[in-house]
Amino acid sequence: MSRLSSRHLLGLEGTSRQDIEAILETADTFREVLDRTIKKVPTLRGITVVNLFYEPSTRTRISFELAEKRLSADTVSFSPSTSSVKKGESLRDTLQNIEAMKIDMVVVRHSSPGVPYFLTRFSDANIINAGDGAHEHPTQALLDMHTIYKKYGKLDGLRVVLIGDAAHSRVLRSNIWGLKTMGASVAICGPATLLPYEVEKFGCDIYTNLDEALDGADVVNVMRIQLERQHAGLFPSQREYTRLFGVNKDRLKRLRRNYTIMHPGPINRGVEITSDVADGAKSVILDQVTNGQAVRMAVLYLLRGRDDEGGVS
Amino acid sequence: MTSKKYDLVIQNGRVIDSALGFGRDAHVFIKDGKIAMIEADSAPIRQEMRSLDDEQIVDATGKLVVPGLVDIHVHLREPGREDEETVESGCRAAAAGGFTSICCMPNTTPRIDNQETVEFVQDRARNAAARVYVVGAITKGLEGKELAEIGDLVQMGAVAISDDGYYVRNAEMMRRALEYARMFDIPVMQHSEDQQLSEGGIMNESFESTRLGLRGSPSVAEEVAVLRDIALCRMTGGRLHIQHITTRGAVQAVRQAKKEGVKVTAEATPHHMVLSDTEIGKEFNTNLRVNPPLRTETDRVAVIEGLVDGTIDCIASDHAPHSAEEKDCEFDQAPPGMIGLETTLGLIKTHLIDKGYLSWADAIRKMTVNPARILNLPVGTLEAGTVADITIIDPEKKWTVKANKFHSRSSNSPYIGRRLTCQVFKTILGGKVVYER
């Protein structure tokens, strides 16, 4: 029985403030578990979770796997390069076969938007979206929000600037939905060619000038730029991108005093962000990774966990 | 008079013939596969009908009796993908949807770009439940490089040419196609899509594609293509037919061109008038993936307005069957296309007639005489002496679209589960009932 209003976490669009608050609050509790000597609770004992990662991933995959293990779930991980997908098996057949082995939860990462929705059509498992194409990456946005919340004690009224490839970033989309639901003001900044069509309809401030975007911001969340975008003609060179949109020390003075630097990783150092900023005092990039564990444990627990098995108290 | 004078009489129906410009209660008399006469009720006519046997009479009380519907844009998939559709199954689907004439597109495997393939399809259609008119290719292999042997295609019976699925990208090639086809008085049917602008597009480019993170195909890809072809059409004096028009800008371009007297016609599909791109994100149903893609609400309304004011001449289903295996997958992996022959009439009634956009006479015009005239087909009217291709419609019959009720070999329809009003009661081809409910 899910403690959230849905039995799946498919995206943050449409996810209620109440559900987001429940996840952030529960993550706080799990954050404490991670500081214990024995970082394990029996909450998901007897539950089997399958990690279906159709796309390469390091931190999200390890983060989910560890979160599952620390909740005492039985886990199976799947990668297409070592599976029947190589032999041409369809996604539906793959999942139906796995489901026939009596699984309870599926964490799915896929390059096609909508795949987590597709899975709900023929699976009884709880589905968690770990990134579907350029659509959503809800747990990343939740961990971003958790990190911001931990620092400021609130999300309401903060000004968050998302910088980079808005057209292709699922992290950015989930951040927009989540942050707006929680009352933050959101700005997007990037080259015009990487701002998707009618992006203003998200209800965010849109900038193509980084200095203007940074004015008075509390949080700067820098998205990774993919080099293939340059080859697709969406910007002329990395050099020019860095000059126009790279976050460096000189630009930080435009931010509020108590500003925060974030990045979902992996970082192209020296391209979208300089190393001194990424590793500087205001950077919470590694906190994001730790908090990601706690948030993912919270999501798994709220969707399927049992209190009578020890819970999270 | 004796009963042998007529093979079939459809009595007491409301007869609508947009070609002849009438809608009235009348009886339709059929003899030797042709319309013998249409007569209003009168004492002598009643007397005449009393002499008929029961099996010669179709009671159409409360029904509409219209010329057999004509669909100028259908994919029959044969040769090549008989698992998805065959000429025979496609014609059964047509008959079930009230269509007695359909035009099949040449993007089969092999392509319909030579006499043999035209003949093959015609052979398959010989005893089918609908007439099949073949649309040949504009270019060999639909590759856009060399003109197909258009004269040969026409000689074998092709009624138009199209590279449907592909846009003739080379403007010089399109110019020559319009000029060459002019010799045979056939239209060049164009799939209007600048495929450099739309490359990789999975759905319409709009806030919806932005929201869903699916790569967009911009409406301007269609508009650029339509504007170029109108210019070529104006220059060559050829006949251009815009297939499945979908955007406000393209409709406006055709409207303007028609005012100038350019010989351009256009068709629109029911799905581009009923659905918009906001449907896709609800559950990523791959049956909503079509090409051209479902557009915005503004475009959807503009297409309806174009249909209403005559800018768009006809309704075509763009019936595009795909196997369940191909559609049962990730949204961006699914091939574009939905079936449409069996739902078109219900959608038009439910969404255009019932909502006051079209009268029955207008709707019938867009599905009979207009498409027939674009392709010079000898159908689309109930005029005495023409073939007795007739559709009898139960206009208020409510039904639910069900996957297992389709006559098509495929069931890739996004309307499954929807309630529609209006259903075909009987379809008559050359005086013979080929479908009845």
Q: How high is the ipTM of this complex? A: 0.92
A186 vs A155, A174, A191, A263, A274, CA distance in Å? Answer: 11, 12, 17, 16, 23
Q: Which residue from B215, B203, B235, B243 is spatially nearest to B106, judged by alpha carbons?
A: B243
User: Which chain B positions have a beta carbon within 8 Å of A112's beta carbon?
Assistant: 330-333
pLDDT confidence tier of residue B2, bands split at 50, 70 and 90: very low
Test the B interface: residue of A118, A170, A188, A201 with most B CBs within 10 Å: A118
Other beta carbons within 10 angstroms of residue B231's beta carbon come to: 14
pTM above 0.80, yes or no: yes
Strand B64-67 relative to strand B8-17: parallel, antiparallel, unpaired? parallel
- Among B207, B210, B213, the residue with its CB nearest the CB of A133 is B213
pLDDT in tens, B406-419: 999 999 999 999 99
Sign of the alpha-carbon torsion through B343, B349, B350, B351: positive
Under 8 Å CB pairs connecting chains A and B tally to: 65
Contact A112 B216 (CB under 8 A): no
Contact A136 B329 (CB under 8 A): no
Contact B331 A112 (CB under 8 A): yes
Report the alpha-carbon distance of residue A133 to residue A136 in Å, rounded: 7
Report the alpha-carbon distance of residue B346 to residue B436 in Å, rounded: 16
Contact A91 B212 (CB under 8 A): no
Q: Angle CA(B142)–CA(B148)–CA(B150) in degrees, nearest 5?
A: 130
Sequence-distant (≥ 6) Cβ neighbours of residue B45 within 8 angstroms: B27, B39
Sequence-distant (≥ 6) Cβ neighbours of residue A21 within 8 angstroms: none
A110 CB near a chain B CB, below 8 Å? yes
| Helix and strand element counts for chain B (H, E) | 15, 18
Report the alpha-carbon distance of residue B22 to residue B249 in Å, rounded: 34
Window B:284-303, CB contacts with A under 8 Å: 284
A258's tokens: 């108590």
B200 CB near a chain A CB, below 8 Å? no
Tens-digit pLDDT string for chain A (313 aa): 689 999 999 999 999 999 999 999 999 999 999 999 999 999 999 999 999 999 988 899 999 999 999 999 999 988 777 666 667 788 889 888 888 989 999 999 999 999 999 999 989 999 999 999 999 999 999 999 999 999 999 999 999 999 999 999 999 999 999 999 999 999 999 999 999 999 999 999 999 999 999 999 999 999 999 888 887 889 999 999 999 999 999 999 999 999 999 999 999 999 999 999 999 999 999 999 999 999 999 999 999 987 765 555 4
Among left, alpha and beta (phi > 0; psi -120 to 50; other), residue A105 is: beta
Q: Give me the active site residues of B, please.
A: 318
For chain B, what is the largest distance between any 2 Cα atoms, rounded to a whole number of angstroms?
Answer: 71
User: Which chain B positions have a beta carbon within 8 Å of A132's beta carbon?
Assistant: 213
Beta bridge partners of A127: A106
Residue of A nearest to B204 (CA): A197
Burial of B64 (0-12, 13-18, 19+ CB in 10 A): buried
User: Which chain A positions have a beta carbon within 8 Å of B210's beta carbon?
Assistant: 167, 196-199, 201-202
- Among B211, B283, B333, the residue with its CB nearest the CB of A117 is B283
B332 CB near a chain A CB, below 8 Å? yes
A133 CB near a chain B CB, below 8 Å? yes
